[in-house]
Each structure stands twice: as structure tokens, then as C-alpha cells.
Amino acid sequence: MKTNSSILIAAACLLAAPFSLPPGASAQRLGEQEYKAHAAEIEKKNHYEVKIAEYEKGDHTQAYSVGIAYFHGFSGAPQDYKKAGEWFLKSAEKGNPLAYIQLGDMLNYGKGMTVNEAAAYKWYRKAAEKGNAEGQEKLGDMYYYGKTVKKDYAAAAKWYGLAAAQPGSSDANYKLGLMYMSGEGVKQDYPTALKHLLKADESGNDSACVFIASIFSSGKEGVTRDPAKAVEWLSKGATAGNTLAMNNLAEAYAAGDLVERDYTEAYRWLAVLTAKSNEVTTENLMASISKKMSQSEMASARAKAAESVKKYVTEEDRENKEYMKTLKGR
């Protein structure tokens, strides 16, 4: 399970916000000893026990920071989900929507607490009603999947829409865009779907590229077919590391329907995809394409593939691939 992004962002702020080094400070410019002294001061003032003391003196805003420290084992605190929950609750009692989200997540996913989707729903709703975009999106998820409430696509779209209207809400825009594509909970509307998917892409959601490409590849009501744009968006998604974009781009080059047929490019992206995943169909398509190329074309394709694998396949990708192999072998 992925670590909740708001936790990581909050933790980063916790470590950096209260005290900062002078602009442009570095070990070279300040001198090693002075630099270490600044770093030690920052660490000391951010220590979780200091924050607890500040809380006990009446600064109740510190409760959330202490919760984060316990949740992740930051700022000198031992990792302790139970204590994290206790401090998040203290923060929530003071009306902090970020604490509502953390409590909702802990209850939703059983992190230090017994899974209780009904209780998670209540915390998400409190955050959502306070205007918190993440709370609105998570509440939308509860309605979309019917978790502890009756599945309600219209309600999901409503909450996704409220979240999507706020800056940086890439996932909410992505989910709302897909709903406008499919007509779930809203009237099917491809131009509106495209608008939300483009916003999702602007905020860093590379999965949006695949569906933007899908709209342009066939042309939908209100959107003119544009094969060149479809390939452009698939390329953007592929270079960002999205495996579905890689697959679709490789197939487009192999088929020659959206772009001029290019087996070398198809082979290149399939090689990257194969290095990232365990899909047998990908390996089979690579073998099929190999038979259609001359020896010189094959040599060029392998050289480009090796270069691209080095560029786009990370050590984490390789570890994930091996992990998935072990799961399939069970």
C-alpha cells in the first residue's frame, strides 16, 4: 500500500518549517562545524519531546506534528501507530482536518487500528465538509466503491468535483474525467472529460495521458479525431514511466494505425515494458515483431531498447518485477 501523500508532505513540513538554514547555506560556505551546529539546532528544536512539551504548555497545534512523528518514527520518536492515533485524535478534537484524514486512513486500512470503514467514512466526511480536498476525494471513493455506504456514482462525482476544483487535485480530476468518459453518475461528456484529464496531467498524473490519447485516437462526440495528438500523449505517458502508455504506444507503432509503422520503436517500448513487468503477452508480441525485421533493423532495435531500458527502468522496477514473480509462483 502506498504511503498517504499528505502524511509525507506534512512530515516534510514538520522537519523543515520551524527553523531553516540561512539562504544558500552549505557545508562549504558555512564551514563544516557551523553547518553541523545549524543542523543539530534544527534537529533539537524539531524533536518530538520538544513538541510534546510545547503542546503541554498550551500550543495544541503541535498535536498533529507529534502524531506524524510517531506514525513514521520521525524526529526522534519511535514508530508507534497507537500513540500516533492518540495524538491525531487530540488534533482532531481541535478541528484539524488533516488529523481527520489520518484517522480516517488508519481506520480504513487498519494501520494501528482495527479496520472500521464506517468510522473512516465519518472522519473523511468531517474533512470534506471543512473543504479539505483530500477528504472530499476520499469521500468520493467511499461512494464510488460502496464502502460502508450504498454505491452512489452521482454522490461520488459530486465530491470528486468539489476536490477537483481545488489546486493540485490530480487524482480527483483524473477520477472525474473517467466518470465523464463512461457516463457514470454524470451525463457522458467527452469535452468535459478531456478538460479534467488535462488538469490531472498538469498536476502530475501520468495515467491521464492514456485516456487523453484514447479520446484523440478515435475521436469522440465534441472532440475531433487527431492521431498525432494521440501518439503525442502516449509518448508523454510512456516517458513518464506509465506502463499502459508504453503498451499502447508499442501497439500503435506495430499496427501503424495512429502513426507510421515502426517496428524498431514498437520493439523498444516493449523491451522497456518487459523489463518492468511479467506480462507474457508483451514477450510474445516482441517475438512476433522480431520476425518482421531484417538483421540490421533488429540490431538497431536492440541497441535502442538497451538504451531505453537503462533510461526508464529503475532498480525499484526490477525489485517489483521479482516480487510479482514470487506472488505468481505461490
> What digits encode the pLDDT tens for the residues 74-85?
889 999 999 999
Judged against a pLDDT cut of 70, whether residue 184 lies above it is answered with yes
Least confident of 7-16, 61-70, 192-201: 7-16
pTM given for the model: 0.80
At residue 104 the predicted structure's pLDDT band, cuts being 50, 70 and 90, is: very high
Q: Tell me, letter by letter, the H, E, C secondary structure of the chain.
A: CCCCHHHHHHHHHHHHCCCCCCCCCCHHHHCHHHHHHHHHHHHHHCCHHHHHHHHHCCCCCHHHHHHHHHHHCCCCCCCCHHHHHHHHHHHHHCCCHHHHHHHHHHHHHCCCCCCCHHHHHHHHHHHHHCCCHHHHHHHHHHHHHCCCCCCCHHHHHHHHHHHHCCCCCHHHHHHHHHHHHHCCCCCCCHHHHHHHHHHHHHCCCCHHHHHHHHHHHHCECCECCCHHHHHHHHHHHHHCCCHHHHHHHHHHHHHCCCCCCCHHHHHHHHHHHHHHCCCHHHHHHHHHHHCCCCHHHHHHHHHHHHHHHHHHCCHHHHHHHHHHHHHHHC
Instruction: Please say whether the beta carbons of 263 and 297 come within 8 A.
Output: yes
Instruction: Please say whether the beta carbons of 105 and 120 come within 8 A.
Output: yes
**Does domain 1-23+31-115 fall into CATH 1.10.8?**
no
- Delimit the domains of the chain by residue range: 1-23+31-115, 240-330
Q: What is the mean pLDDT of residues 147-176?
A: 96
At residue 24 the predicted structure's pLDDT band, cuts being 50, 70 and 90, is: very low
At residue 32 the predicted structure's pLDDT band, cuts being 50, 70 and 90, is: low
> What digits encode the pLDDT tens for the residues 225-261?
999 999 999 999 999 999 999 999 999 999 999 999 9
Judged against a pLDDT cut of 50, whether residue 330 lies above it is answered with no
**How far is 92 from 83, CA to CA, in rounded Å?**
14
Max mean pLDDT among 219-233, 278-292, 311-325 falls in 219-233
pLDDT score at 175: 98
> What digits encode the pLDDT tens for the residues 271-285?
999 998 867 778 888
